[in-house]
Amino acid sequence: MSGFKMITKTNRDEMEAIKRYFNECLPTIDDNNLHMLRKASMYISIVYIVMLIVGIFAMEAVRLSIYHFVIVPLMIIYVFINMYTLKHRGEISTAKTAAICCTFYFFLGVDLAVIDVFEAPAGRAIWLPIAVIGLPMIFIDRIYKYIFEESVVLSILLIMSYFHNDFDHFKNDAYISMAAFFISILSARIILEMRAKEALAMEEVTRLSSLDKLTHVLNKNALLERIDNYFFRKTAEESCAMCIIDLDDFKLVNDNLGHNTGDLLLEKVGQLLIENFRAYDLVGRYGGDEFVVLMPRMSDINILTARCKTLQMYINDLDIGSDHRITASIGAVICKGNCDRKVIFSMADDALYKSKIQGKNCSTNWIYEEQESVDKDVLILMAPEKNQGVQRLYDGEEDRFKIVYSTDDDATIRDISRYRNEIKIVMVEVDTAAGLGMLVLKYLKRREGFAKIPVIAIVETHRDADIAKELQADAIIGSDEPDAKFREVIDSLMK
């Protein structure tokens, strides 16, 4: 009884491993199936021609007929299909891979069945049973699919044999077909078990080599590789979000509490990220105390904002054995439409920097939508309302600038990040009483990539002018100045 239980348990474990193999290794399975299809179609053609030649010269019963050539169109068609799969390697979906492979093996089986019934030299089926036995060696599929696929082609063989041959001949074909079927299914079970063990072991080695040893999330190289693969396969209809998390004042933790405490903090943050993001989200350590998360199918800015705030709360609650309060700044961007990984990462990094200069433990969340091509220099304009002065600026400057208008600091910094390479000048209305414009000035002059962009501060009071000067605005102009003065200032900064 204990032996039976052991056999049952072993079989259950093996079936579970096969199930995991198909769940976790589909891209590898698809690549292997297409590779083996290319090899199979080439070698089958060679073997078929050689066996025909040998049969013609060595066996008197073999005579060439039209049935021997039904396989030729299939092989010619698959020369071109194999060239396509080779050219688009890694791009073909699982469904398309299955369709390409199953179509080939089905029509190959039908062709061999026709030859076996109408031109079998030994008077019984040979070619199709041999092909059925060999199928699990050259095509990876689930057991129940093998059963269905092989049952279909063998049924076609037996139906043709029943109507074309005498009953004894049909019984021989049925016997050989049943033997080939059961041998094939048993072989498939053994081969799948071995493939699963090898593939899962390789997956585990790959997984361990791609993990950061301290935090147990993806290391930088593995993270970027998987993010690039995602963007390569991503469709324009699918939204995603990229989130960069940076621990505030991490250097102080190392300096004041020791590197062991710093390592403990990083380990706890890594575990926190693994537990609080979805299984298909990509979580990795980009370097030092900076983590990156890519969230496929994330399109709602409110949900993203809530996720970021919740994550910050969990990080605040981390216990590292001291009274030091742990905080994190976050920059996150939702991507809608076609977009480049480098663009989204750059915007998320800009959003993170904005969170840092706001006072840390802040979260900045933006939406990026694919922008139309820009054929003019960009002028970024921030004013709380689109008044007559703003409209006159539009009327006077829209011929030489694409004017990008926004009403608050957050949207302005987002536009600066979005149009970073096309910006020629930035105009910001500074209102210290309302708290407007100062964050934009601070951001532009502290952020190395934007520090050389000329900034005009538009002010109403002396205090506003003093703050703008302190924040290093390149030019300061009163809001009541004539339009000609605005043009003069813009022209002077453009030189």
433-466 pLDDT per residue, tens:
999 999 999 999 999 889 899 999 999 999 999 9
Q: How far apart are CA 399 and CA 395, in angstroms?
A: 8
Residues 243 and 183 placed together within one structural domain of the fold: no
Q: How far apart are CA 169 and CA 160, in angstroms?
A: 11
**Rg for the chain (alpha carbons), in Å?**
34
* Choice between 315 and 11, residue whose per-residue pLDDT is larger: 315
Average confidence score pLDDT of the chain: 89
Residues 414 and 485 placed together within one structural domain of the fold: yes
Q: And the tokens for 36?
A: 């083996």
Q: Is the CB of residue 146 less than 8 Å from the CB of residue 183?
A: no
The rounded percent of the chain whose pLDDT value lies above 90 is 56
Domain membership of residue 227 (yes or no) is: yes
Q: Distances from the Cα of 134 to the Cαs of 88, 114, 193, 243, in angstroms?
A: 27, 18, 16, 49
Residues 6 or more apart in contact with residue 177 via CB below 8 angstroms: 125, 128, 129, 132, 154, 157, 158
Query: What is the pTM assigned to this prediction?
Result: 0.68
Q: pLDDT-based confidence at 2, cuts 50/70/90?
A: low
Q: pLDDT-based confidence at 481, cuts 50/70/90?
A: confident
What is the rounded average pLDDT of the residues 109-114? Answer: 92
Q: How far apart are CA 51 and CA 115, in angstroms?
A: 13
Residues 304 and 183 placed together within one structural domain of the fold: no
Domain membership of residue 61 (yes or no) is: yes
* pLDDT at site 432: 92
Indicate if the pLDDT at residue 208 is higher than 60: yes
Q: How far apart are CA 61 and CA 21, in angstroms?
A: 47
Residues 37 and 66 placed together within one structural domain of the fold: yes
Residues 6 or more apart in contact with residue 455 via CB below 8 angstroms: 425, 426, 427, 428, 440, 441, 444, 445, 473, 474, 475
Q: Distances from the Cα of 4 to the Cαs of 12, 14, 490, in angstroms?
A: 12, 15, 87
What is the rounded average pLDDT of the residues 206-218? Answer: 83
Q: How far apart are CA 112 and CA 129, in angstroms?
A: 9
What is the rounded average pLDDT of the residues 125-143? Answer: 92
Q: How far apart are CA 421 and CA 294, in angstroms?
A: 24
Domain membership of residue 215 (yes or no) is: no
Indicate if the pLDDT at residue 418 is higher than 60: yes
Domain membership of residue 214 (yes or no) is: no
* pLDDT at site 324: 83
Give the domain extent around 241.
Answer: 220-369
Residues 189 and 330 placed together within one structural domain of the fold: no
Domain CATH number, residue 247: 3.30.70.270
Residues 30 and 177 placed together within one structural domain of the fold: yes
Indicate if the pLDDT at residue 59 is higher than 70: no
Chain centroid to Cα 460, Å, comes to 50
* pLDDT at site 60: 64
Q: pLDDT-based confidence at 247, cuts 50/70/90?
A: very high
Residues 149 and 180 placed together within one structural domain of the fold: yes
Q: How far apart are CA 179 and CA 186, in angstroms?
A: 11
Residues 175 and 264 placed together within one structural domain of the fold: no
Q: And the tokens for 162?
A: 């029943």
Last residue of a domain, one of 349, 369, 389: 369
Indicate if the pLDDT at residue 494 is higher than 60: yes
Domain membership of residue 213 (yes or no) is: no
Residues 362 and 383 placed together within one structural domain of the fold: no
Indicate if the pLDDT at residue 65 is higher than 80: no
Domain membership of residue 129 (yes or no) is: yes
Q: pLDDT-based confidence at 151, cuts 50/70/90?
A: very high
Indicate if the pLDDT at residue 1 is higher than 70: no
* pLDDT at site 400: 87
* pLDDT at site 63: 67
Indicate if the pLDDT at residue 206 is higher than 80: no
What is the end-to-end Cα distance of the chain in Å, rounded?
92
* pLDDT at site 121: 57
For 293-362, give the DSSP string: EEEET---HHHHHHHHHHHHHHHHT---SSSPPP-EEEEEEEEESS--HHHHHHHHHHHHHHHHHTTSS-
Last residue of a domain, one of 369, 395, 428: 369
Q: What is the pLDDT of residues 228-241, one digit of tens each?
A: 989 888 888 899 99
* pLDDT at site 246: 96
What is the rounded average pLDDT of the residues 324-339? Answer: 91
* pLDDT at site 122: 57
Last residue of a domain, one of 151, 173, 208: 208
> Alpha helix locations (H) across 387-494?
388-397, 409-418, 438-446, 462-470, 483-494
* pLDDT at site 123: 63
Residues 124 and 25 placed together within one structural domain of the fold: yes
Domain count, the chain: 3
Residue type, 227: I
Residues 155 and 13 placed together within one structural domain of the fold: yes
Q: Give CA angle at 68 (67, 70), nearest 5°.
A: 65
H or E segment to which residue 369 belongs: strand 363-369
Q: How far apart are CA 370 and CA 418, in angstroms?
A: 10
Q: What sign does the CA torsion over 40, 110, 144, 103 have?
A: positive
Domain membership of residue 105 (yes or no) is: yes
Domain CATH number, residue 430: 3.40.50.2300
Picking from 376, 388, 375, 479, the residue whose alpha carbon sits closest to that of residue 427 is 479
Picking from 326, 316, 309, the residue whose alpha carbon sits closest to that of residue 243 is 309
Q: Is the CB of residue 333 less than 8 Å from the CB of residue 355?
A: no
Q: pLDDT-based confidence at 124, cuts 50/70/90?
A: confident
Indicate if the pLDDT at residue 119 is higher than 80: no
Residues 13 and 141 placed together within one structural domain of the fold: yes
Indicate if the pLDDT at residue 64 is higher than 80: no
Indicate if the pLDDT at residue 402 is higher than 80: yes
Domain membership of residue 307 (yes or no) is: yes
What is the rounded average pLDDT of the residues 105-109? Answer: 94
